[in-house]
Amino acid sequence: MDTKYEGKTMNSTETFEWGEYSSNAIDYIANSTAWMNIAVGSVRSGKTITAITRYLEFMITSPHTDFMVIGKTLGAVKRNVVKPLMAMMRSMGINPVHNRKENEVYFMDKVLALYGMGKKDDEEKIQGSTFAGAFIDEGTVITEEAFKMIISRLSESGAKMFVTCNPSNPNHFLYVEYLMNPELIREDKLRKWTFRLEENKNLSKEYVENLKASYPEDSVFYKRYILGQWVSGQGAIYDKFNKDNIFSGSVDLDHYDYLEIGSDYGTSTTTCYALIGIKEYEDHNEYDVICEKGFDAKQEGVTQTDAERVEDIYQLQEEYGLDSTCVFYVSHDAASLLSALQKDHRIKMSLDTFTPDTLECIREISSLFYKNYLRVHSSCTETIKQVESYEWDMKAAQKGIDKPVKKDDHYPDALRAPIMNHLFEDAFYSDLVYL
């Protein structure tokens, strides 16, 4: 066997069920012959499937052999691009081989290298390599350095880029430096196609309606993901949080399928915990913030040691009779607390860590508040206060970055892990055909 076929291969035999291509999609496939070809617009509007269809044709007809696919993470690349791409190849009688060890796909005489480039320094993965084409899925979630590096590596003659993205902040580099770049547009180096959700006839009406109902129409997420507009968030982030999201009275822990604790860790600020009850229903999950506990170092005038934090966590565990079925999530920047918890034999809860994707967490949590699937017990006064005052950082927005003001954000941040790790597989996260 050729060395390039070493490593684990994916033996799926799945083929692609060709559906309907909108007139916009057909136009993209026929005319994406510029240096950079961007499919931008609403979620689920067919951008990725359309651009993959074109990229496959581009690679097959290219005299070159080396190509790449880039996304935020390798997992996302494999799920959203490689899976349908390989299925399309099989439907065309091409037998691709996925080398999971090398993160490459081989077909005909071609090598398709797969990369996740959502993190700082990810661009180093392709330093020094040469490619004839790049497929960038979700272009707004890879770093600017990675984007520039990809461009610099496309040195083969006739090299092209095929990019898909949802709209983001209007100051985002992809919008300012590329999509709106008058020179690139005038010289016809960049072509863009705007896709709309309604154009995708492969989705059921009910699915589209559910998707639209996920966000209030005046929210930044509705404007971006449904209407396809480049807008930034302004003012309160959880502006749909209201009295209906607050519940009171005694809590029956047996009502919940899971009890989990999220945390936020600050050595000189606040460390806090949120006990969340999760109830699974057939078509959604509901989340109740049952109890909060925290220590504000600034207010107390002293900092807490990890041993003291472990004591607080132990007390919380005992108060609610929690055992190994309860997961306690330690925030990603709290290695010393994790180690202190692991060493303390009184801690019966399972321990896990969580690294947040700030924007995704905000998008999900605001949607849950809107649908009233996330409620906070009236005794959690700090959580309620901070959820109400959680606001977009307008200075960061001017630099194209979506993030909340880093002030009084500890309690809302503590909600993230249990929620994000128990997401109902809904509209945004389940691919109708390929997941």
Ligand X SMILES: Nc1ncnc2c1ncn2[C@@H]1O[C@H](COP(=O)(O)OP(=O)(O)OP(=O)(O)O)[C@@H](O)[C@H]1O
- Here's the x/- map for ligand X, 182-221, by CB under 6 A: it reads as -------------x----x-xx------------------
Number of residues that bind ligand X (CB under 6 A): 20
Name the residue among 382, 387, 354, 363 with its Cα closest to residue 261.
354
Report yes or no: 42 and 211 within 8 Å, Cβ to Cβ: no
- Here's the x/- map for Mg ion, 5-44, by CB under 5 A: it reads as ----------------------------------------
Find the binder of ligand X among 6, 19, 244, 385 (CB under 6 A): 19
Least distance (Å) between residue 41 CB and ligand X: 7
Give Dmax over CA atoms of the chain in angstroms.
70
From ligand X, Mg ion, none, which one binds at residue 269 (CB under 5 to 8 Å depending on kind)? none
Of 269-288, binders to ligand X (CB under 6 A) are none
Residue 160 to residue 162: CA distance in whole angstroms: 7
Residue nearest to Mg ion (CB): 48
Helices 335-343 and 306-319: crossing angle, nearest 10°? 60
The region of 46-54, 199-207, 262-270, 420-428 touching Mg ion under the rule CB under 5 A is 46-54
Which run of H or E residues covers position 285?
Answer: strand 285-296
Find the binder of ligand X among 36, 38, 49, 362 (CB under 6 A): 49
- Looking at the Cβ atoms of 335 and 432, the one nearer to ligand X is 432
18 binds ligand X (CB under 6 A): yes
Name the residue among 384, 224, 200, 370 with its Cα closest to residue 291.
384
Least distance (Å) between residue 384 CB and ligand X: 32
The tokens for 109 are 């005489």
Least distance (Å) between residue 48 CB and Mg ion: 3
From Mg ion, ligand X, none, which one binds at residue 423 (CB under 5 to 8 Å depending on kind)? none
CA atoms within 13 A on the CB side of 99: 18
45 binds ligand X (CB under 6 A): yes
Residue 203 to residue 173: CA distance in whole angstroms: 31
Residue 61 has φ and ψ, to the nearest 5°, of -90, 0
73 binds Mg ion (CB under 5 A): no
Least distance (Å) between residue 224 CB and Mg ion: 14
Report yes or no: 84 and 94 within 8 Å, Cβ to Cβ: no
Find the binder of ligand X among 44, 72, 172, 375 (CB under 6 A): 44
Residue 351 to residue 189: CA distance in whole angstroms: 51
How do the residues of the chain divide into helix, strand and coil, expressed in percent and rounded to 5?
35, 20, 40
164 binds ligand X (CB under 6 A): yes
- Using CB under 6 A as the criterion, which residues of the chain lie in contact with ligand X when the complex forms? 18-19, 21, 43-49, 164, 166, 195, 200, 202-203, 431-434
